[in-house]
């Protein structure tokens, strides 16, 4: 396409957002606020406490009797009513919207209760009895990828479900000729930008129409619409997906809700009423989604002058328990641009995809970019260190030269425009790099730990819908047919009085799309942005949509925005033709301004915008010959540059490629290990900016999450696969105190491939900021292996060495092998009753039931073996458990070993303890020690409180034991003192 820079009266200017009045007044309707039909039921989901287990049985009979419960669905009903979801790979790894025969991660949906309200639905969850048989787990990607690892999907025969090798240029030659090879392996953690609004689904099965009418905050892409409709066994139009105009943040995350859409559709069909489900925060953090954690072994072939001539990347990407479409997108989304901002012609890539017993991976802002740029930019910093070169000089030496755009990168990206050298010059000058270097020098002279980091990112936008087919071999691709493009829609309507409205396919998640669309259309039609009503709702039964519809890959500026201009231009052309007809001039001599349409050469010849629009509605007979009546136009846009992968496995993964250059100074507190960002500069070339204020908003937001990913955020799993980051007190999002204000700089190299010259800008900083901060920490400390997040504890350990082990006390040997998180404790108590009496209480089920806190029922199920039902709580989590307890090594009335397990909807636990009874004066001294592991919801949210809770339970236990054996008030941690014995003798005390 011919290059054209478009600056209009409104496009390119900072403007307040047309969305904000509603939001600020609290009147914007989010999905959870949408009106519900009378009789709508609410759903709550029972989730797996195990990382991997067979489901032996599910008993819902008692739960069905609970108040308000209308239905309960399990995997059995789901298998009856739906087909497994299609997946990208041809591998036997079926998945439904509920677990069927086994669970594969903590938090996997096992059953859904549909009830009158959410409180009652959650109450009933406690009464569903699921018997699990725990299985060995595959947790760490490297371990899971080994032969003999426990298999997440046994039918596949391996946890590595896809391996592909790619070679570009002459990598072997490059590595043979290199002066040296520099290598670095990185291990990028799991995280997510966690929108503040969780998933919401309101499904209504219309039996007579056989239509599933769904309102949700699903954000697209609609590539999964066919996945959902096929699972539901209906044709596309029978699955009506509606989205409200407002969504409480997306960041890609709201793509992965589609299994819940199907689940609620089936529930609605079963109960014959609408069913609504609102995800809570624990569900979201535990089970919604995570960006894949990835291990990348990177190698650079380097000449002594700093020129990098080749790269090798071996990637192992962890997709968790299921491969939900469009996974493994993050592994291929950046494929064409794996050489980053550098002019490197020779490269190999090996992509391996591993399944583990963790939450499925999915779309998160950056979509594989943070992982890859962490590898490339950490590797480049390491090259600089090894060569003894300044990092920035090394970057300069290797950047793609100015004047070589459009530039075809080794793996196929067609980088549209840029001037990277100029960007560096502006950034170092306007960001005052010299001053920052001075600060570093001064800090170091004072003995402080200070470092400067750099990062270079080529920011892709608007994904090529064919990128994922790169995972298939050339032969497979030929068989399946070519895939490419990215179709965008915008509809502009002008009513009979000249009122302008539009709809578009971008499903905004807060970015201000309506504002930009109104700017674009206002410019074309000579009206004001506030005169245009933008309806950003989407309805697949009513609005045009394609598989590319949605909010992802920063596609708005380069996909939906051009579609809007196309639609507006069609309207403009039509109105110009009508006006020309009336004014008796040629249509190319017509212009639009301030609500008027006039002859350029004779502005006296003018018509009101509304008058021209009205003609198309009121008097189609007056229109110029051959013109269609009405005034509604659809703009459809797909860029021709988005070609399918070629036979050399080259793929132009994106339409536009912006440029980001960041640098920062950080100081590390030697005592606490805290990383403080002293100054952060972020330089962007995103082509033409459509609204600079909105563009800066994307940079600020991406930067804030970049800071979170660098320093705080990680989804943490225990060694048993339990999930440990279930609250916002465990998963630490940065607040206003942790996010400094970065200095944002811009330059504009318009994209020749998009009509407005714009590129994406929303994802650059989530790719650049984590590695920029890590490079600064590497510069400050000289440490090479840095794993994010760089929390104070982790950094302190790196700079100070590991803390010495806790001194050995007189603690008894732990009764069982425990993970690091296992709860251990010991103590003594005194009971004013003889050991024999205490013993009798401990072995009598009825008595024991009264002693154990929260126990409702206890029965003897075998010699020394009990089954109990109890209610327990830790912090905010309370629920019912089934306990199995056995007494072994009985040495009445002196000692016993108690071991057992707890199982409930909130989690499971197993452990054991020793109890010793010693007769002392006035009663029995009981000494005990215990150790147990814990998983499930209790572990996810209660981790910080478990030790305290265990101590409280123990003290309650002995208090009750004391009451029962000797009457109330007879328990103390120590035998009665001589003073108490004296009082007793005197009859003053009992």
Partner 1 sequence: MSQLNNDGRSSVSFILNGNPVTGYAEPRMLLTDFLREEMGLTEIHVGCEHGVCGACTIRMDGLPARACLTFAIQAEGHRIDTVQSLAQPSGVLSDLQLAFRKHHALQCGYCTPGILMSSSAFLEINHDPSEEEVRDMLSGHLCRCTGYVGMVRAILEVARNRISA
Among 108, 126, 197, 714, binds partner 1 (CB under 8 A): 197
**Touching partner 1, residues 453-512 (CB under 8 A):** 509-512
Query: Which helix (H) or strand (E) element contains residue 164?
Result: strand 160-168
Residue 38 within binding range of partner 1, rule CB under 8 A: no
Binding-residue pattern over the window 211 to 250 for partner 1, x denoting contact by CB under 8 A: -----------------------------------xxxxx
Binding-residue pattern over the window 297 to 336 for partner 1, x denoting contact by CB under 8 A: ----------------------------------------
Compare residues 75 and 789 and give the one whose CB is closer to partner 1: 789
Among 21, 600, 783, 989, binds partner 1 (CB under 8 A): 21
Give strand pairing partners of 297: 185, 314
Residue 37 within binding range of partner 1, rule CB under 8 A: no
Q: Which residues, in sequence order, are CB contacts of 171 under 8 Å at separation 6+?
A: 301, 310, 311, 312, 346, 347, 348
Q: Which residues, in sequence order, are CB contacts of 778 under 8 Å at separation 6+?
A: 378, 381, 382, 385, 451, 453, 784, 786
Residue 519 within binding range of partner 1, rule CB under 8 A: no
Compare residues 489 and 705 and give the one whose CB is closer to partner 1: 705
Compare residues 392 and 939 and give the one whose CB is closer to partner 1: 939
Backbone angles phi, psi at 274, to 5 degrees: -65, 145
Decide: residue 612, CB within 10 A, 0-12 exposed, 13-18 middle, 19+ buried. buried
Compare residues 119 and 618 and give the one whose CB is closer to partner 1: 119
Binding-residue pattern over the window 924 to 963 for partner 1, x denoting contact by CB under 8 A: -----------------x----------------------
446: left (phi over 0), alpha (psi -120 to 50) or beta: alpha
Among 5, 23, 86, 797, binds partner 1 (CB under 8 A): 23
Half-sphere exposure at residue 634, Cβ-oriented, CA atoms within 13 angstroms: 9
Backbone angles phi, psi at 348, to 5 degrees: -120, 150
Compare residues 66 and 247 and give the one whose CB is closer to partner 1: 247
Binding-residue pattern over the window 167 to 196 for partner 1, x denoting contact by CB under 8 A: --------------------------xxxx
Among 6, 13, 30, 495, binds partner 1 (CB under 8 A): 30
**Rounded to whole angstroms, what are the CA distances from 268 to 84, 206, 396, 670, 912?**
19, 9, 60, 58, 45
- Which range binds partner 1 by CB under 8 A, 159-167, 551-559, 688-696, 916-924? 688-696
Residue 286 within binding range of partner 1, rule CB under 8 A: no
Strands (E), 695-839: 743-747, 823-831
Residue 854 within binding range of partner 1, rule CB under 8 A: no
In angstroms, give the least distance from the CB of 704 to partner 1: 3
Compare residues 666 and 766 and give the one whose CB is closer to partner 1: 766
In angstroms, give the least distance from the CB of 41 to partner 1: 14
- Which range binds partner 1 by CB under 8 A, 275-283, 425-433, 488-496, 828-836? 275-283
Among 727, 781, 828, 980, binds partner 1 (CB under 8 A): 727
How far is Cα 466 from Cα 612, in angstroms, rounded to an integer? 43
Compare residues 596 and 937 and give the one whose CB is closer to partner 1: 937
> Residues 273, 85: contact at Cβ < 8 Å?
no
Compare residues 8 and 249 and give the one whose CB is closer to partner 1: 249
Reduced to 3 states, what is the DSSP secondary structure of residue 608? strand
Residue 697 within binding range of partner 1, rule CB under 8 A: yes
Residue 705 within binding range of partner 1, rule CB under 8 A: yes
Among 10, 17, 538, 572, binds partner 1 (CB under 8 A): 17
Among 3, 62, 119, 441, binds partner 1 (CB under 8 A): 119
- Other beta carbons within 10 Å of 888: 12
How far is Cα 776 from Cα 771, in angstroms, rounded to an integer? 8
Among 79, 116, 281, 746, binds partner 1 (CB under 8 A): 281
Compare residues 219 and 462 and give the one whose CB is closer to partner 1: 219
Kindly state the tokens that stand for 562.
């051009």
Give strand pairing partners of 491: 503, 634
Using DSSP bridges, classify how beta strands 865-874 and 877-891 pair: parallel, antiparallel or unpaired: antiparallel
Compare residues 54 and 117 and give the one whose CB is closer to partner 1: 117
Using DSSP bridges, classify how beta strands 275-278 and 41-47 pair: parallel, antiparallel or unpaired: parallel
Compare residues 733 and 849 and give the one whose CB is closer to partner 1: 733
Among 155, 736, 985, 988, binds partner 1 (CB under 8 A): 736
**Touching partner 1, residues 637-666 (CB under 8 A):** none
CA-based torsion, 663, 667, 673, 677: positive or negative: negative
Kindly state the tokens that stand for 864.
């020394």
Residue 741 within binding range of partner 1, rule CB under 8 A: yes
- Which range binds partner 1 by CB under 8 A, 180-188, 701-709, 745-753, 852-860? 701-709
Reduced to 3 states, what is the DSSP secondary structure of residue 770? helix
Residue 582 within binding range of partner 1, rule CB under 8 A: no
Q: Which residues, in sequence order, are CB contacts of 911 under 8 Å at separation 6+?
A: 815, 816, 818, 822, 823, 899, 900, 901, 930, 931, 932, 933
Residue 25 within binding range of partner 1, rule CB under 8 A: yes
Q: Can you state the angle between helices 835-843 and 946-966, rounded to 10 degrees?
A: 110
How far is Cα 498 from Cα 553, in angstroms, rounded to an integer? 35
Q: How many of the chain's residues bind partner 1 (CB under 8 A)?
A: 55
Compare residues 174 and 514 and give the one whose CB is closer to partner 1: 514
Strands (E), 921-961: 923-936
> Residues 68, 115: contact at Cβ < 8 Å?
yes
**What's the full length of the chain, in residues?**
990
Residue 407 within binding range of partner 1, rule CB under 8 A: no
Compare residues 1 and 24 and give the one whose CB is closer to partner 1: 24
Query: Which helix (H) or strand (E) element contains residue 74?
Result: strand 69-74
**Touching partner 1, residues 562-581 (CB under 8 A):** none
In angstroms, give the least distance from the CB of 6 to partner 1: 23
In angstroms, give the least distance from the CB of 68 to partner 1: 12
Start-end of H helices in 289-414: 329-332, 369-387, 391-398
> Residues 275, 42: contact at Cβ < 8 Å?
yes
Residue 33 within binding range of partner 1, rule CB under 8 A: yes
- Other beta carbons within 10 Å of 180: 12
Q: How far is CA 704 from the centre of its chain?
A: 15
Residue 367 within binding range of partner 1, rule CB under 8 A: no
Residue 874 within binding range of partner 1, rule CB under 8 A: no
In angstroms, give the least distance from the CB of 845 to partner 1: 32
Give strand pairing partners of 168: 347
Residue 602 within binding range of partner 1, rule CB under 8 A: no
DSSP line for 237-303 = GGEEEEE-S--S--TTGGGTTHHHHHHHHHHHHHHTS-EEEE--HHHIIIII-BBPEEEEEEEEEE-
Among 586, 728, 783, 785, binds partner 1 (CB under 8 A): 728
Compare residues 765 and 841 and give the one whose CB is closer to partner 1: 765
- Which range binds partner 1 by CB under 8 A, 423-431, 436-444, 597-605, 703-711? 703-711
Compare residues 64 and 693 and give the one whose CB is closer to partner 1: 693
For partner 1, the binding residues (CB under 8 A) are: 16-17, 19-21, 23-30, 32-33, 118-119, 193-197, 246-251, 278, 280-281, 509-512, 693-694, 696-697, 700-701, 703-705, 727-729, 733, 735-737, 739, 741, 876, 941
């Amino acid at each position: 396409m011919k290059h054209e820079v478009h600056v209009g009266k409104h496009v390119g200017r900072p403007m307040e957002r047309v969305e904000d009045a509603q939001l600020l007044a609290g009147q914007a309707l989010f999905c959870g606020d949408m009106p519900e039909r009378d009789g709508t039921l609410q759903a709550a989901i029972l989730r797996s406490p195990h990382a991997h287990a067979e489901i032996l049985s599910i008993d819902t009979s008692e739960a069905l009797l609970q108040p308000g419960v209308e239905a309960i669905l399990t995997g059995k009903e789901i298998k009856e009513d739906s087909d497994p979801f299609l997946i990208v790979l041809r591998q036997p790894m079926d998945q439904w919207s509920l677990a069927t025969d086994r669970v594969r991660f903590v938090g996997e949906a096992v059953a859904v209760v549909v009830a009158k309200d959410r409180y009652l639905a959650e109450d009933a969850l406690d009464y569903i009895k699921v018997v699990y048989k725990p299985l060995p787990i595959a947790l760490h990607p490297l371990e899971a990828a080994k032969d003999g690892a426990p298999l997440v999907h046994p039918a596949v025969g391996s946890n590595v479900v896809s391996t592909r090798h790619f070679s570009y240029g002459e990598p072997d030659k490059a590595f043979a000729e290199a002066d040296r090879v520099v290598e670095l392996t990185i291990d990028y953690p799991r995280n997510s930008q966690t929108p503040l609004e969780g998933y919401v689904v309101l499904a209504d099965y219309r039996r007579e129409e056989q239509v599933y009418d769904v309102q949700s905050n699903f954000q697209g892409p609609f590539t999964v619409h066919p996945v959902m409709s096929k699972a539901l066994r209906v044709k596309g139009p029978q699955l009506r997906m509606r989205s409200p105009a407002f969504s409480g943040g997306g960041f890609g995350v709201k793509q992965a809700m589609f299994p819940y859409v199907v689940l609620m559709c089936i529930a609605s069909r079963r109960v014959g009423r609408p069913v609504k489900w609102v995800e809570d925060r624990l569900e979201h953090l535990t089970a919604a989604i995570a960006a894949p954690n990835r291990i990348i072994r990177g190698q650079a072939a380097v000449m002594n002058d700093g020129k990098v001539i080749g790269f090798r990347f071996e990637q192992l990407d962890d997709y968790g328990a299921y491969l939900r479409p469009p996974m493994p997108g993050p592994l291929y989304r950046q494929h064409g641009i794996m050489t980053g901002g550098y002019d490197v012609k020779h490269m190999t890539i090996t992509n391996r995809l591993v399944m583990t017993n963790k939450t499925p991976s999915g779309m998160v802002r950056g979509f594989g970019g943070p992982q890859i740029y962490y590898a490339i930019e950490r590797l480049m910093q390491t090259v600089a260190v090894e060569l003894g070169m300044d990092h920035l000089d090394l970057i300069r030496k290797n950047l793609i030269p100015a004047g070589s755009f459009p530039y075809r990168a080794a793996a196929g990206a067609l980088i549209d425009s840029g001037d990277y050298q100029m960007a560096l010059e502006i950034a170092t000058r306007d960001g005052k790099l010299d001053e920052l270097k001075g600060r570093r020098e001064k800090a170091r002279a004072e003995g402080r730990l200070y470092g400067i980091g750099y990062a270079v990112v080529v920011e892709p936008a608007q994904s090529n819908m064919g990128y994922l087919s790169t995972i298939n071999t050339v032969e497979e691709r030929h068989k399946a047919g070519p895939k490419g493009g990215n179709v965008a829609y915008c509809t502009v309507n002008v009513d009979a009085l000249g009122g302008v409205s539009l709809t578009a396919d971008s499903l905004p998640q807060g970015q201000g799309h309506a504002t930009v669309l109104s700017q674009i259309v206002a410019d074309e039609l000579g009206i004001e942005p506030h005169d245009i009503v933008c309806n950003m709702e989407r309805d697949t039964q009513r609005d045009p949509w394609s598989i590319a519809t949605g909010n992802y890959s920063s596609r708005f500026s380069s996909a939906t925005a051009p579609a809007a201009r196309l639609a507006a231009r069609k309207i403009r052309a039509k109105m110009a033709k009508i006006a020309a007809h009336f004014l008796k001039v040629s249509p190319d001599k017509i212009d639009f301004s301030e609500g008027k349409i006039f002859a350029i050469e004779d502005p006296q010849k003018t018509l009101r915008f509304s008058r021209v629009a009205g003609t198309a509605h009121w008097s189609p007979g007056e229109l110029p010959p051959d013109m269609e009546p009405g005034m509604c136009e659809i703009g459809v846009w797909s860029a021709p540059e988005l070609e399918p992968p070629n036979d050399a496995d080259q793929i132009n993964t994106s339409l536009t490629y912006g440029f980001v250059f960041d640098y920062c100074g950080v100081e590390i507190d030697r005592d606490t290990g805290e990383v403080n960002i002293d100054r952060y500069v972020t330089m962007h070339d995103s082509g033409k900016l459509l609204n600079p204020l909105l563009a800066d908003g994307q940079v600020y937001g991406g930067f804030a999450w970049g800071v979170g990913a660098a320093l705080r955020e990680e989804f943490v799993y225990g060694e048993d696969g339990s999930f440990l980051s279930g609250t916002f007190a465990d998963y630490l999002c940065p607040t206003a105190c942790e996010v400094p204000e970065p200095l944002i700089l811009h330059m504009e190299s318009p994209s020749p491939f998009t009509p407005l010259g714009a590129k994406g800008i929303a994802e650059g900083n989530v790719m650049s900021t984590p590695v920029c901060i890590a490079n600064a920490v590497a510069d400050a400390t000289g440490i090479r292996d840095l794993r994010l997040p760089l929390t104070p504890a982790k950094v302190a350990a790196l700079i100070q060495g590991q803390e010495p082990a806790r001194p050995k006390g007189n603690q008894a040997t732990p009764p069982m092998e425990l993970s690091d998180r296992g709860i251990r404790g010991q103590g003594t108590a005194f009971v004013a009753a003889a050991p024999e009496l205490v013993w009798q209480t401990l072995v009598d089920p009825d008595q024991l039931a009264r002693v154990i806190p929260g126990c409702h029922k206890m029965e003897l199920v075998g010699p020394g073996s009990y089954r109990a039902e109890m209610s327990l709580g830790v912090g905010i989590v309370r629920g019912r458990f089934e306990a199995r307890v056995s007494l072994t090594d009985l040495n009445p009335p002196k000692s016993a070993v108690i071991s057992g397990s707890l199982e409930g909807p909130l989690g499971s636990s197993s452990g054991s303890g020793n109890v010793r009874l010693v007769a002392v004066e006035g009663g029995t001294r009981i000494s005990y020690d215990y150790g147990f592991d814990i998983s499930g919801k209790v572990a996810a949210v209660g981790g910080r409180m478990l030790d305290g809770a265990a101590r409280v339970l123990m003290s309650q236990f002995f208090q009750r034991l004391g009451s029962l054996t000797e009457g109330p008030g007879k328990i103390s941690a120590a035998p009665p003192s001589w003073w108490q014995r004296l009082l007793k003798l005197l009859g003053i005390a009992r």
